[in-house]
Structure 1
Amino acid sequence: MSAVNAARPTHPGVYVEELPSSTRTITTPTTSVTAFVGHTRRGPLDEPVRVGSFTEFERRFGGLTSRSAVGHAVHQYFANGGSVAVVVRVARAGSGRAAGVTLKSTEGHSESPVLEVRAKEPGVWGNGLRVVVDHDTPCPDETFALRVLGARGEVRESFTGLSMDPSHDRYAPAAVDAGSRLVEVEVVGEGRPDPSGTVSKPFGRELPDLAVDLTVKIGDVEREFRLHDPACDGEAPCSVAELALLLERKLRALPDAPGRRAFAGAEVTVSGRRLRVVAGSTDPDDVVRFLGECANDLGLEASVNPPVFPLEGGEDGAAPGPRDLIGSEAGKTGLQALRGVADVNLLVLPELASYERTEDALTVLSAAQLLCRERRIFLLVDAPDSWAGVDAARAGIAAFDAVRGDHAALYFPHLRLTDPLTGRLRSFPPSGAVAGVIARTDAERGVWKAPAGTGARLAGVRSLTVDLTDREAGLLNPLGVNCLRAFPATGPVVWGARTLAGSDALDSEWAFVPVRRLALHVEESLQRGLRWVVFEPNDENLWQQIRLAASSYLHTLFRQGAFKGSTPREAYFVKCDSDTTTAEDIENGVVNVLVGIAPVRPAEFVVVRIQQTSGQFAL
């Protein structure tokens, strides 16, 4: 139906006018984006990076390593149904070093450094990078190209037309730093970096006599050959390009040292009027060197560079300590790096389980819970490694009284899985796998469903470090410890849904994980969905729109089963009127909205009474 301007009717009839809806919709944010903070093999330091799969985590953070509990936690998270993770790499302050190499130039009167190439992130991973420089560009006398190779010689990144002139459109630091995920460069001198390999002097209009014997050397291997033999090669080359093809063919025909491809893969290219010879190997020791007076006559006595420039000196950062994990709010390091990230709902700190001093772990947990309260995040806490049995857990849980908050839940015992690095069974903290179970439960049932029960299976888990009985679980559950159990027909599952404030002694209204997480979800949704209210006229019309928007959102949750009660009146209420917002509030620019919900509490205890009758038969 098309809109018609009905302001001034001109003839008898029915006029139709479309009016914009005054109802504002409150959308629901995601509930299961999990943040992992700790040590990884590589990756940007103290910078939140969003990944959507473990493959992407491997590409950005280097995958699994025996030194990183975070890598294994992320792997278990995606294996159990997780979909989005935010990873923050943290290292001990002052540790770690980026690999690098300084490229030099001989275009002036002497050799001097001109360009530093460094791995973009600290770590030994950068020692596997190689860079190749050539002048084969549209402007071979002014610009250069830079290629970044991996450890196996594969081209990872390539940049061409680079200039050392800051006013140039392809100024090297600007072009490389913006386009590379592997390296960054810094100009430290004047002139272009020399090309890789052996580079000749510029040839004149006429080529010199080519019927000469050349001697080349790679490492300790020397080979001699006739550059141009009319009987075998036909007419002599007439251009530098033809000379390059001839020389390349001659080099590739030479016998290589056993197990090497220095000659077989040699390349000869043209840069302006120069020849550039690169050995076929990416080993920095495989340098093609031309020896003797005949080589000098051909202008091949110029600077001898390796076929590649290897990056060296990279060092992994040491595992972070408690202060490194807590970080600085001003510098946005460690945990504080999450303050600027939207949609993070769960937080995992798998390294705390291995801390020898419980006090150190509690210090980090205290700071983490403060962040969680401010950012509406729920923290998953691993039981310490030292809890080898039920008695140790009952004795150790008293230390957590100082951090018994309703924004966290503790899980015990640890999991036994096959380590992908060794193929052997070993124990892992459960938080990564539990986060995956929560994400899967949210997607299948909703945030109001307790992430526990026979449907909360732990995928890939072979066994648990402590096999709990019903009686033992009954001792831990009232203390606010969520047990992981293994049942014959089901396998390992999450068998608890209490927050750290869920101890029977505390009698908290936020005793259950789904109740706390549902409230956080509603709070975040309403805060985002009511931002439009700011600066609107504070009157009855505004209050009515607020009531309509909030009620519509809560009614959707009610229909999905998030609240108890058979009617909306029993499930929730929204009050925004002159009772909640007084004349004084209006004068101060304040509008008060009162929202109440009746969350569904999980059926933690199911009591079945069976009565046996005798002497009666059903007909």
Structure 2
Amino acid sequence: MTSEALPGVSLTSAPRGSEAQPLRTDVAAFLGRLRRGPIGAPVRVESWNDVVGAFGPPPGTPGARDPQDGAFATPYALRGFFENGGRTAWVVRVSGPAGTARARWTVGPLGGFPATRYQVTATSPGTWANGGRVAIRYQASTVAGPPTVSVRVHVPGEPPEAFPGLPLPEAADRLTASRLVRLVPDGPPPPPGRPGPISVSWDLTLAGGTDSAPTRGAYEDAVAVQAELPEPALVALPDLGTDLAGGAHTDVVLALLRSIAPLHDRLAVLDVPPRLSSVDEVVDWVGTLAATGDGRLLGCTAVYHPALRTPAGSGLRTVPASGHVLGVIARLDGERGAHHTPANAVVLEAVDLAAAFPEPQQVRLFDAGVDLVRCTRGRGLTVWGGRTLSTDPRTRHIAHRRLVHLLVRAVRRVAGPLVFDVNSPELRLTLVRAVTSVLLSAFRTGALAGARPEQAFRVVCDDTNNPPEQDPGLLVCEIEVAPAVPMEFIRLRLVLGQDRGLEVIEA
């Protein structure tokens, strides 16, 4: 929703509808702390204004009440994403146990209301609504029409809202348009036919909202939510390093990687926890992740460091680099394609690095698998590095991983409708033609190597990988792809099973 505010009035309009597009590889998912908004439920946003509308202004906004003293970074990471060229993101607010601010409104025996008492509640849990004022004015029926009620809402740091002339039976439903409050009946209906005064006013104050830092379980729940979303191809957790430490932090990271690795269609961009101040600590932390020895997991994550200094109010704020880097990746995706390395590109909406490393320390970080953001003379801040944490040449390069993500999404789109078709030569031909069309498109954009298509890819779906004795409910299609540079083949194996749908396996 978009909103325009004047003193004493807020005009709100719903955005045009937009559907998820699973074939895109520039959509990001952000899991972290925000001022307000639903907890644990994904919200799709397409601009910074959408973020502010759904989750409130960022920390430091004059007059706003910020949970945990405004220590959360996700709003600034989202702003960096959109300022750097991102177009669409899914946001999951993560929080510990939280209470919702509310106030009791006693209407009394006024005729026309569905109930004699109501609870005026904030739209979402948190301390953000504490101290919010709700002014309600009842106006009896006149020659102009039946009785009405007008509602004005003012929460610190938020644009004021006004809802004039609401019909009494519809007041609760009409207030669902508010970003800030809801009206919940909390009492019996009034006695019929009892006359009331010409007008009555109530001034209510919201109170009782509480916040707490997210737990490991809250983050793991958010990780599970993002895994169910078909659209995101990039994932960031900007507040994770602040909220969790030690084994709890590592467990959440591994839970994230285990949730996205089987999907073969998204990349996690991690931030170095802010408590790690020295290069030795950073290298040890990366080593802890690498100690899993699972190239499949390490191949779907990248670490960018150091944090950035970004404008915030009248000063600067330190923000993890992941949101800005995802914006750069999304921008290059639109300009060049998913198969281009997200490196040597300028970072916007940031003015400095939170830490500067001399060259020997940069080399140590690079050798440990950390991708750097650097300050380059004459160019400003630039992304410097496009590698995952994997040491396996097949899964080391972000450009190759994102090419796989694009191909997997495209192949799912063309092969998914064929799952319940009868295993026959006609089905094999249909599948090969559909997959070949996807690969030809990638070849024409320069994503694949070779002067001719036959040098760039190969699709096999015949008796060699579908022998007569094989289960007739399964159909196997093998794909070999040569990415542009360096020349390392990528192998995908598609299995169509009538009892288990479409399965993509990276060989």
Match of 1:6 in 2: none
Q: Over aligned residue pairs, what C-alpha RMSD do you find?
A: 3.0
Query: How far did 1:380 drift?
Result: 0.6
Q: Is contact 2:96–2:211 with CA below 8 Å preserved after alignment?
A: yes
Partner of 1:83: 87
2:238 paired residue number? 350
Partners in 2 of 1:426 and 1:184 — Cα distance? 34
Q: Deviations over 1:99-143 (max 9, x none)?
A: 2333331349xxx95222212212333342414242556999986
Instruction: Tell me which amino acid in the other structure corresponds to 1:484.
Output: V
Quote the residue 2:101 is aligned against. Answer: 98
Residue of structure 1 in register with 2:379 after alignment: 490
Change over 3 Å in CA distance of 1:483–1:154 after alignment to 2: closer
Partner of 1:21: none
For the residues of structure 1 that align with 2:36 and 2:363, how far apart are their CA atoms?
A: 43
2:478 is aligned with what amino acid?
Answer: L
Alignment of 1:367-406 (within 5 A): 367-375=255-263, 376-402=265-291, 405-406=298-299
- Relative to structure 1, the CA distance from residue 425 to residue 312 in structure 2 (aligned partners, 3 Å threshold; closer, same or farther) is closer
TM-score (norm: length of structure 2): 0.80
Q: CA contact under 8 A between 1:105 and 1:191: conserved in structure 2?
A: no
Q: Secondary structure at the match of 1:57?
A: helix
1:341 and 1:356 map into 2 onto residues whose CA distance is 24
Asked which structure has the greater CA Rg, the reply is 1
Alpha-carbon distance, 1:338 to partner = 2.0
Alpha-carbon separation, structure 1, partners of 2:214 and 2:165: 35
Match of 2:126 in 1: 123
From 71, 75, 78, the equivalent of 1:74 is: 78
1:326 matches 2:326: no
Q: 1:467 corresponds to which residue?
A: 356
**Consecutive unaligned residues in structure 2, runs of 5 or more:** 1-20, 60-69, 488-507
Query: Does 2:304 align with 1:411?
Result: yes
Determine the C-alpha separation between the residues in 2 that align with 1:386 and 1:338. Answer: 26
Shift of 1:395: 3.6
User: Equivalents in 1 of 2:355, 2:179: separation in Å?
Assistant: 43
Counterpart for residue 331 of structure 2: 440
Q: Following the alignment from structure 1 to structure 2, what is the Cα–Cα distance between the partners of residues 158 and 339?
A: 42
TM-score, normalising length from structure 1? 0.66
Deviation at 1:317, TM superposition (A): 1.8
State the partner residue of 2:463: 578
Q: Take 1:482 and 1:550, find their aligned partners in 2: how far apart are those partners?
A: 33
CA contact (8 A) 1:353 1:429 kept: no
Is there any run of 5+ residues in structure 1 with no aligned partner, and where?
A: 1-26, 164-169, 194-200, 203-270, 277-304, 328-333, 604-619
The structure whose residues are more often strand, as a share, is 2
User: How many Å separate the matches in 1 of 2:242 and 2:326?
Assistant: 19
From 579, 594, 600, the counterpart of 2:478: 594
SS of 1:189 mapped into structure 2:
coil
For the 8 Å contact 1:39–1:91, the answer to whether it is kept is: yes
Asked whether 1:567 is paired with 2:452, we answer yes
The code of the aligned residue for 2:258 comes to: L
2:282 alignment partner AA: A
Report the Cα distance in structure 2 between the residues aligned to 1:549 and 1:493, rounded to whole angstroms.
39
Q: 1:528 to 1:367 in 2, by over 3 A?
A: same
Whole-angstrom CA distance in 2 between matches of 1:510 and 1:557 = 19
Deviation at 1:441, TM superposition (A): 0.9
Name the structure 1 match of 2:320.
Answer: 429
Q: Who is 1:458 aligned against?
A: 347
Aligned counterparts of 1:317 and 1:159: Cα–Cα separation in 2: 34
Encode CA deviations 1:288-346: one digit per residue, 9 max, x unaligned.
xxxxxxxxxxxxxxxxx5x343241142422212222112xxxxxx2222243221111
Distance in 2, matches of 1:534 and 1:395, equals 46
Distance in 2, Cα, partners of 1:528 & 1:83:
22
Identity of aligned pairs, percent? 27
Partner of 1:134: 138
Task: Quote the residue 1:187 is aligned against.
Answer: 185
For 1:321, the aligned partner's letter is: T
Structure 1 residue 589: deviation in Å?
1.4
Q: Relative to structure 2, which stretch is displaced further, 366-375 or 441-450?
A: 366-375
- For residue 447 of structure 1, report the CA deviation from its aligned partner: 0.6
**2:57 maps to which of 60, 63, 66:** 63
How has the CA–CA distance of structure 1 residues 370 and 136 changed in structure 2, closer, same or farther, with 3 Å as cutoff?
farther
The answer to whether the 8 A contact 1:123-1:316 is kept is yes
Q: Quick one: which amino acid aligns to residue 275 of structure 1?
A: I
Q: 1:543 to 1:437 in 2, by over 3 A?
A: same
Question: Which residue pairs with 1:553 in the alignment?
Answer: 438
Quote the offset at 1:495 in angstroms.
0.9
In structure 2, the CA distance between the partners of 1:184 and 1:374, relative to structure 1 (3 Å rule), is farther
| Residue 278 of structure 2 corresponds to residue 275 of structure 1 | no
Matches within 5 A, 1:41-56: 41-56=35-50
Alignment partners' CA distance in 2, 1:125 and 1:575: 58
Deviations 1:135-173 (CA, angstroms, capped at 9, x unpaired): 55699998654534334995444573342xxxxxx5x65
Counterpart Cα distance in 1 of 2:57 and 2:486: 37
Paired residues, number: 445
